[in-house]
Chain A
């Protein structure tokens, strides 16, 4: 049973374009929604995260949009750069100590120059 559904599986964007990755969750107990970025041969690194009390969070070129009623959240990468080419994972957790992150299946982003 997949609790966090992520789409698309892969994405190709032109340099300078906007990359959009979507996720949907099922468990209403989730209250923390991070995005992780993973480069080949490296571990996932926290990119940006949001909690349900806000609908949007922006850090530089990265923005999370959150829709609690629809149980959906998305990552927008503005002015996408070739260095952004990586695999992006959305995740969710319920905020207890030791609680696991439940990950989406990942989106492989390629930014062409």
Chain B
């Protein structure tokens, strides 16, 4: 009965590669998010989608592209990976009636070599 799930949990890849991280929520929430947590544990928003529409697109390199095929999924595709992309990426979701209450997934640790 996982609420917000992400795959893979760990991702190790070479510079220049393209990779995707998948996120699914089974809570029936309308809004989904991607956050990045750096090596100092600082959490920062990258994107948010509400009912499949992009709401927030922070200053993130355009190598990062979110894709929301339906309300339950928000995937993150990263092109031409760089060393500085190494971080933990968290997906989150929130319900329409409690827009602030965000539920986080377990995270994907991305390591770029």
Where the two chains meet, the residues of A that have a C-beta atom closer than 8 Å to any C-beta of B are 32, 34, 36, 38, 41-46, 49, 87, 89, 93, 95-103, 105-106
Contacts and interface: CB of A to CB of B under 8 A. Distances in A.
A46 B107 CA distance: 15
Contacts of B4: 43
A14 to B, nearest CB: 24
Contact of A97 (B31, B40, B107): B31
Nearest to A51: B100
A43 B107 contact: yes
Nearest to A89: B43
A45 B104 contact: yes
A34 B94 CA distance: 13
A70 to B, nearest CB: 22
A103 to B, nearest CB: 4
A103 B44 contact: yes
A97 B101 contact: no
A101 B10 CA distance: 25
A44 B90 contact: yes
A99 B99 contact: yes
A43 B99 CA distance: 19
Given A43-B90, A46-B103, A105 B30 contact: no
Interface in B27-51: 30-31, 33, 40-45, 48-50
